[in-house]
Amino acid sequence: MTRYCLRGFSRRSSEHGASLSDCIPGRPAISASFHVCLRRALLLLVFTAFVASLASFSSAQVSDVEDVHITPRIKPPEAPKNQVVGAVLQTHSRPIQVDVDLVLVPVTITDPLNRLVTGLDKENFAIYEGKDQQVIRHFSSEDAPISLGIIFDMSGSMNSKIERARDAVGEFMKTANPQDEFFLIGFSDQPELLCDFTQNPDEVQNKLMFTAPRGRTSLLDAIYLGVHKMRQAKYPKRALLIISDGGDNHSRYTEGEIKSTVKEADMLIYAIGIYDHYFATTEEQLGPSLLAEVTELTGGRAFTIDNPNDLADVATKIGTELRNQYVIGYRPKDRRHDGKWRKIKVKLIPPKGLPPLRVYAKTGYYAPSE
């Protein structure tokens, strides 16, 4: 039987003259020099294997590092073009996910004394698109966060009214929801964004403190800028509040262009017109009707006052009205995405015993084009 012994490869065994033949019976003696050469060869073989193993490990490490750098980032899937962010229709309820086929219509109801009427139910409303009555899929009367832009007149004719106009904005802010966001546009010879979107009403108030009446009135341009800015709003419920004392006399946009613009914009527009007892110019004479027509297209209202002291009360009334609207949602029976204007009519079915009531709602919307 062949028997192997590692003792012959140790330095100590070599010094005592031990040889590989000592461990293998029947083998002739092997010279010391051959023994040394064999040992060196084995050591070289072990060293070579070690170096090869180390190189392989190093190569694997480098490969891993390179993989990290050359692997492209995985981009998140893009949202579909028609995807709409979920709308928060009730402050203390779960958001409702809506799509492009769900039409939302804010509705305000007032009595003969121009007071808000609350407490109505879904059964008290009917909604029509064209001649077709629609099925009401959603009905809400709860407060909801709002994105609101204030369009503030800083023209020279506001000189005697500017302080009360600032106070009116302050009173309006007192009706705000803590989650609301605001921006401020001032206008005279041209409109200017004075305060970008903020949830801090004090920022708006601070910017108003530095407004100085001067120049002419670019009201239509200011409305256009407000509608354009509202595209950055984060809430589905959106409104503009205009505070002005007269008609337009210095805008690039025409009245017809602005009416078309606000019809396409899904937002409410309210206005407070501060007018003197007499109108010095044709523009001032047309001011009340201009604001009334623009606001009614959106379902909002224009309030006309001739006493600046009434500004704060009217501003509070508008703020309260925005918090007590009904919101009706329906999916149109006409599902065509043709980009055409669709007329809307909201009809009231009031409970018995109530006086004649008035309905304020937007007059229509543009169907999606895709």
The residue ranking higher by pLDDT, 272 or 48, is 272
Predicted confidence band at 211 (pLDDT cuts at 50, 70, 90)? confident
In DSSP terms, 342 is beta-bridged to: 365
Angle, alpha carbons 232-300-204 (nearest 5°): 50
- The phi, psi pair for 231, rounded to 5°, reads -65, -20
List pLDDT tens digits, range 251-288: 999 999 999 999 988 899 999 988 876 666 666 677 78
List pLDDT tens digits, range 56-65: 444 444 433 3
Q: Residue 157: what pLDDT? A: 85
Residue 67, pLDDT above cutoff 90: no
Q: What are the Cα distances from residue 354, in Å, to 111, 125, 269, 349?
A: 9, 15, 28, 11
| 338 torsion bin: left (phi>0), alpha (psi -120 to 50), beta (else) | alpha
3-state helix, strand, coil in the chain (%, to 5): 35, 20, 40
21 residue type, one letter:
S
Predicted confidence band at 96 (pLDDT cuts at 50, 70, 90)? very low
Q: Residue 12: what pLDDT? A: 40
Percentage of the chain lying above the pLDDT 90 cut? 53
CATH superfamily of 147-323: von Willebrand factor, type A domain (3.40.50.410)
Query: CA 28 to CA 32: how far, in whole Å?
Result: 13
Q: Residue 40: what pLDDT? A: 64
Enumerate the domain spans of the chain.
Answer: 6-70, 147-323
Query: CA 335 to CA 210: how far, in whole Å?
Result: 50
Its pTM surpasses 0.85: no
List pLDDT tens digits, range 169-207: 999 999 999 999 999 999 999 999 999 999 999 999 999
